[in-house]
Amino acid sequence: MVDMSASLLHHGHIRLLKRAKELGYVIVALTTDEEIEKHKGYKPELNYEFRKELLLALRSVDEVVPSNWLLDQEFVKEHKIDLLFHGDDNSNQVEQIRTFARTPDISSNLIRERAMASLVMLANSKKCLLTPGPSNLHTENVFGIHPVFTRGDSEYDSIQIDVLDKIRRRAGQDSIVCMQGSATTAIEVATSNFLYGKVLAVASGYYSDRIIMMLKRKAQRLQLTDLIAITYDEFIEQRQSLSGFDWIVAVSTETADAFLCDLKELKHAADRMQARLMIDATGSINLEDDHELADVCMFSSCKGLGGLTGAGFITYNKELLSRLNPHAKEFVLDLSTYIEKKTTGPAHCLLSMHLICDRFAELGQRVRESKAIFVEKFRAHLVRQTNQPALCTKFKADSVKVPAGTVLYQPRSIEPGAHVICHLFDQFPANRSVGQFYDSVVIE
């Protein structure tokens, strides 16, 4: 007798059955559907009758009988069994038993995981998102999600600490909070708490303009003594003469314009005037260097970090807490709400990142490699040669032709004849190597 569930028949089962057949008449004790659900916690992919049909089609099987999860001496005696064969994970309380080492690198659960990975790869291969995030999907995003509660669940507490610590390290500050929402939510919270006094906002594109709009609306409520907005070019020209500011606010990567600000220049200016530096790192986290130069960073889960959409993050240096803007804040804009976890956090977003957070560096490198290949292939169409972010590239073209199933990025603000392509998709598994997709892109 060989007892098994055979919910997904594989070569490990076949090898065990062949060895049993060498000794005589083989009866398979096949676990019933009810017993599988009771002990494994799920219904088998194939019901008992189909599993029995498969086994009886094998030359190594003479008979199939229904069985419980565990066999006992009475069951063995009933079927006149001389010897019970089982893998070396046997739990049956039977005297006449022989165990064998399990076939390595195969199990029904492993097949399920490979099937899920294949489905994710197929989805990524069919639909390529040349967008800044969310882009495509990691298998680990799916595997990581399971039931949790954000209070009193020790498993979730451990996962949250691990994921947030690895994200914080990528940014470089000593503290982190997360919230449900997006980078925009994080920006609203950060600017409402950290900014005070005289603020210099560096305008480099659509997203910095949006921050400036936010600040103008709340400047009086924050009791800012002054809010000055200058373009990035003006900042570079005037950086040696700027003075008297308490904060510099800028966007690291302007996604809509594919422009990268120089964080070192921003930091030098901040240090010279003894100001603090706040960076919207949405398009640059895990893709660019030097985020540790900022005092505060804000970003989201679904771009360079490879997670699902729905989480905003603020990283900051703890010593700033003694100088927070004291004005009264709405509950959802109060930093303490998130420090003290007074609201439900983005649990499933963090779970989606748990199995990939050890590979942040690898994923960022894949995006940078993709960027380099695109730039080399389409260099004649580039809008600029400097200040190039890893996330995306801006180019001029009369037309852009891409394969069916491709979604091009539509920036919220861009001049006629210009296009932006994002390279995040190349961090996700698909039936192509990094940069190979660009062979099917025609830019004219």
pLDDT tens across 229-241, in order?
Answer: 999 999 999 999 9
For the entire predicted model, the pTM comes to 0.91
Which band of pLDDT confidence, cut at 50, 70 and 90, is reported for residue 413? confident
Cα dist from 17 to 67, 106, 217, whole Å: 17, 15, 74
User: Which CATH fold topology does 149-358 show?
Assistant: Aspartate Aminotransferase; domain 2 (3.40.640)
CA distance 103 to 113: 17
pLDDT digits (tens, 9 = 90+) for 117-162: 999 999 999 999 999 988 899 999 999 999 999 999 999 999 999 9
- How much of the chain exceeds pLDDT 90, in percent? 94
Residue with tokens 């509950």: 331
Is 80 exposed, middle or buried, given 0-12, 13-18 or 19+ CB atoms closer than 10 A?
A: exposed
pLDDT of residue 363: 96
pLDDT in tens, 344-375: 999 999 999 999 999 999 999 999 999 999 99
Residue 202 pLDDT exceeds 90 = yes
Same fold, 123-138+360-443 and 149-358: no
- CATH dotted code for 2-106: 3.40.50.620
What φ, ψ does residue 247 adopt, rounded to 5°? -140, 145
Span 18-34, mean pLDDT? Answer: 95
* Largest Cα span, the chain: 95
Pairing between β-strand 247-251 and β-strand 198-203 as defined by DSSP bridges: parallel
What integer is the mean pLDDT of 315-328? 97
Query: How far is CA 321 from each of CA 186, 236, 275, 318, 336, rounded to the nearest angstrom?
Result: 16, 30, 15, 6, 10
- Active site positions, annotated: 38, 40
Pairing status of strand 175-180 against strand 418-422: unpaired
Q: Are 349 and 301 in contact (CB under 8 A)?
A: yes
Element (H, E) at 199: strand 198-203
Report the pLDDT averaged over residues 330-354: 97
Domain ranges for the chain: 2-106, 123-138+360-443, 149-358
Distances (CA, A) of 176 to 153, 295, 336: 20, 12, 12
Residue 128's SS3 state is strand
CA 424, distance to chain mean position in Å, is 11
Fold of 123-138+360-443: Aspartate Aminotransferase, domain 1 (3.90.1150)
**pLDDT value at 95 more than 90:** no
- DSSP type of residue 72: B
